[in-house]
Amino acid sequence: IRIYQNFGLPDGNEHISKKSMEKESCRLKDSPFLEIHFYEHPFRFNFSPLLYRSKQRERLTIGIRAQTNATAAPAINKTSQEGKKTLRKGNVVITGASSGLGLATAKSLAENGNWNVIMACRDFLKAEKAAKSVALPKESYKIMHLDLASLDSVRQFVDNFRRSGAPLDVLVCNAAVYFPTASEPTYTADGFEMSVGVNHLGHFLLARELLDLMQQSDYPSRRLIIVGSITGNTNTLAGNIPPKANLGDLRGLAGGLNGTSGSPMIDGDKFDGAKAYKDSKVCNMLMMQEFHRRYHEQTGITFASLYPGCIATTGLFREHIALFRALFPPFQKYITKGFVSEEEAGKRLAQVVSDTSLTKSGVYWSWNKNSASFENQLSQEASDAEKARKVWELSAKLVGLQ
């Protein structure tokens, strides 16, 4: 007897019979992915940790107790009738999927039909409205609460995800904040300067805590993607616009970035919001490589970063002055020609999530003028292995992993 796990069917759906499930599971849908065939998961993607109730956890289809991921339908199945290989939908968590790049990526993946998108967002209502505004198919996404400005919230998210029993196949660390005009730093719940706290430390804890779940997944290509940027790379023109990224000797990071026992900046200097963002992106790119060095061989997980292009219209620039917000898109469109639409950038990140040609680990992807992907070079600092090791260790200490 095949055991299907219920990832949290809504009340009233327990009556689904084994027969109807099997009928559903045989609805084959051709897909070019891996040149094998997909079947739709026998259930609507409907795990709901936010509405989680212990009672619900006990409810299992066909009366069989399923306690761990091991009981989830295997990623690849052989169908009985045709002997063809089938692949279940992948589960992808995208942080900050309530706007900009994250939302566009969610849309691209949800529309291709092979992904369950978990939108990990700090504002549930905003995320729901955003999903509706781009007409995400109802069954293709779920929203889970995640505030990267609180380590407790990160741990709660991980706990909720684990309890859902769903396998985790791809994690996209996409959320970010940018405070270019702030004269004073703001801080996360744990007292870290906000840009590095959210963009780097929150994601660092999230990724570390979810790694074993990804390792357990039987999905053919598991990936951890951390969004980077050109502006953290001083080997480019964009990366040379002041203030430039520079982590220095990491003395501020070692001091906890709290501005009381040291500096809120990684390099120990005085606060600069634009630099803090660029520094956080350097950390993102360094951590992708450090994950690769530490875990790729052992786990088979692909670790990747990317610069999706200049998506000059997103909410990232919401704190910038009005004049900047008005001029930045045409400047990028007509002068630098680095502009990409949210839709195009979403397709690019979706490629890094699911394209079979982008499985190489340890790579920082970029796209050329014809929108073709290529492995890009990181700056000296963003590829400094010794610095990566130190950032890893100091960050682990700050988020309570050591």
Residues that bind ligand NDP (CB under 6 A): 95-96, 98-102, 121-123, 126, 146-149, 174-177, 198, 227, 229, 281, 307-308, 310-312, 314-316
Separation CA 364–CA 361 (nearest Å): 9
Q: Which of 20, 68, 260, 336 binds ligand PMR (CB under 6 A)?
A: 336
Minimum distance of ligand PMR from residue 236's CB (angstroms): 7
Q: Which of 231, 234, 351, 379 binds ligand PMR (CB under 6 A)?
A: 231
Name the residue number minimizing CB distance to ligand PMR.
338
Tokens of 71: 């009981």
Q: Which is nearer to ligand NDP, 106 or 214 (CB)?
A: 106
Residue type, 96: G
Cβ atoms of residues 318 and 324 within 8 Å:
no
Question: Which element (helix H / strand E) includes 347?
Answer: helix 342-354
Q: Shortest approach of ligand PMR to residue 48 CB, angstroms?
A: 33
CA distance 309 to 282: 16
Residue 376 lies near ligand PMR (rule: CB under 6 A):
no
Per-residue x/- marks for ligand PMR, 148-187, CB under 6 A?
------------------------------x-x-------
Distance (Å, rounded) from C-alpha 352 to C-alpha 320? 29
Among the listed residues 94, 230, 378, 394, the single contact to ligand PMR using CB under 6 A: 230
96 contact, one of ligand NDP, ligand PMR, none, CB 5-8 Å limit per kind: ligand NDP
d(CA 193, CA 228): 19
Q: Which amino acid is at 160?
A: N
Nearest distance in Å: CB 289, ligand PMR: 18
CB of 97 to ligand NDP, least distance (A): 6
Question: Looking at the DSSP assignment, which residues form a beta bridge with residue 94?
Answer: 119, 172
Query: Considering the rule CB under 6 A, would residue 192 count as an interface residue with ligand PMR?
Result: no
The DSSP 8-state label assigned to residue 73 in this structure reads P
User: Which of ligand NDP, ligand PMR, none binds 315 (CB below 5-8 Å, type-dependent)?
Assistant: ligand NDP
The yes or no reply on residue 99 touching ligand PMR (CB under 6 A) is no
Pairing mode of beta strands 37-39, 28-29: antiparallel
Q: Are strands 363-367 and 302-306 parallel, antiparallel or unpaired?
A: parallel
Q: How many CB atoms lie within 10 A of CB 62?
A: 14
For residues 259 and 247, give the distance between their C-alpha atoms in angstroms, rounded to a whole number.
16
Question: What pairs with residue 363 in β-bridges?
Answer: 304
Q: Which does 267 bind (CB under 5 to 8 A by kind): ligand NDP, ligand PMR, none?
A: none
Choice between 165 and 338, CB closer to ligand PMR: 338
Cβ atoms 220, 90 nearer than 8 A = no
- 325 contacts 315 by C-beta, under 8 angstroms: no
Judged by CB under 6 A, the residue of 241, 321, 326, 385 near ligand PMR is 241
Q: Least CB distance from residue 51 to ligand PMR, whole Å?
A: 34
DSSP 199: I
DSSP symbol at 242: S
Tell me which of 94, 338, 342, 391 binds ligand PMR, using CB under 6 A: 338
Number of Cβ within 10 Å of residue 325's Cβ equals 14
Residue 245 binds which of ligand PMR, ligand NDP, none (CB < 5-8 A, kind-dependent):
none
Nearest by Cα to 194 from 251, 241, 160, 147: 147
CB 236 within 8 A of CB 184: no
Smaller CB distance to ligand PMR: residue 315 or 362? Answer: 315
| CB atoms near residue 41 (< 10 Å) | 20
Q: Which does 148 bind (CB under 5 to 8 A by kind): ligand NDP, ligand PMR, none?
A: ligand NDP
Instruction: Give whichever of 206 and 274 is closer to ligand PMR, judged by the CB atom.
Output: 274
- State the minimum distance, in angstroms, from the CB of residue 196 to ligand PMR: 13
Which residues in 260-279 contact ligand PMR (CB under 6 A)? 274, 277-278
Cα-only R_g, the chain: 21
189 sits near ligand PMR (criterion: CB under 6 A): no
Q: State the nearest-atom distance from the C-beta of 227 to ligand PMR, in Å.
A: 9
The footprint of ligand PMR (CB under 6 A) covers 178, 180, 229-231, 237-238, 241, 274, 277-278, 310, 336, 338
